[in-house]
Chain A
């Protein structure tokens, strides 16, 4: 019998979604994901959350930039 590994913790799931895991940890995580539906679901949820936050954060930054007072050009 071969062990198929422990479940991925929340931090690992998020790092995997954000492509921030080390190569060695990616191998371990992906092997586990081949056989664990609970972790597949967690990664799918995390992928969607990270993508949504990224997009919303970009929107926030954009509106912040717009609201910044424009600098006056010296001498004018």
Chain B
């Protein structure tokens, strides 16, 4: 599994927030273009993570609309806070959708106002999840009992690392190693499966990232 910590930090560019904000306020199309360019994947990521893929394009569009209107109204007083402002708008939007979904669910039990929604899970997503669950089970079943207990306590019971180390008489390093070995094994099993399915033995590093079993 690739870690972004492997990527040099300077890989993330600095952004001219003030210029973007000024251009949006002046109704210059380049301002909106820049806003889209910088934030589209991030807004999609947050909305999809919180709300799922359903209606994602519409939701992303709504978020940009809200952000642009707010900037034009002058709600964003300090342009250098644009990133925090975008995050706040997206969080409010998520909260709004969750509120709507909750009241819709209440309406569902009222037959006079019944709304039938397509609640079928995405089959591809479901298949990937099942594969990941199976891999995780294989990892746990092949571990020594003690290591397995560490992982069960951490991931299922959500005990803190310090509590686990105290209860199981582990050092912080032993704890980290147990976790990282399991994760490495999970990735290895996923890659092996991907390779078998696609008919090649060793994937190049770049391909390996694409072949990550979990996303």
- A positions within 8 Å CB-CB of B: 1-10, 13, 18, 20, 27, 30-61
Contact = CB atoms under 8 A, between A and B. Distances in A.
Interface of B: 1-5, 7, 9, 11-18, 38-39, 41-43, 45-46, 49, 80, 82-84, 86-87, 90-91, 128-129, 132-133, 135-137, 139-141, 148, 151-152, 155-156, 158, 182-183, 186, 212, 214-215
Contacts of B2: 38, 41-42, 45
Chain B contact residues, majority secondary structure? helix
Given A56-B140, A60-B148, A13 B4 contact: yes
B3 A42 contact: yes
B98 to A, nearest CB: 15
Given A38-B11, A39-B4, A41-B2, A2 B83 contact: yes
B132 A47 contact: no
Nearest to A40: B45
Given A34-B86, A49-B1, A54-B156, 6 more contacts: A5-B12, A35-B15, A38-B4, A45-B212, A47-B49, A52-B129
20 contacts: A1-B14, A18-B158, A34-B46, A34-B83, A34-B86, A35-B42, A38-B4, A41-B215, A42-B1, A42-B3, A42-B4, A43-B49, A44-B49, A48-B128, A48-B214, A49-B1, A49-B132, A51-B132, A55-B133, A56-B133
Contacts of A5: 12
B66 to A, nearest CB: 15
Contacts of B87: 27, 30-31, 34
A57 B152 contact: yes
A13 to B, nearest CB: 7
B39 A35 contact: yes
A45 B1 contact: yes
Nearest to A50: B155
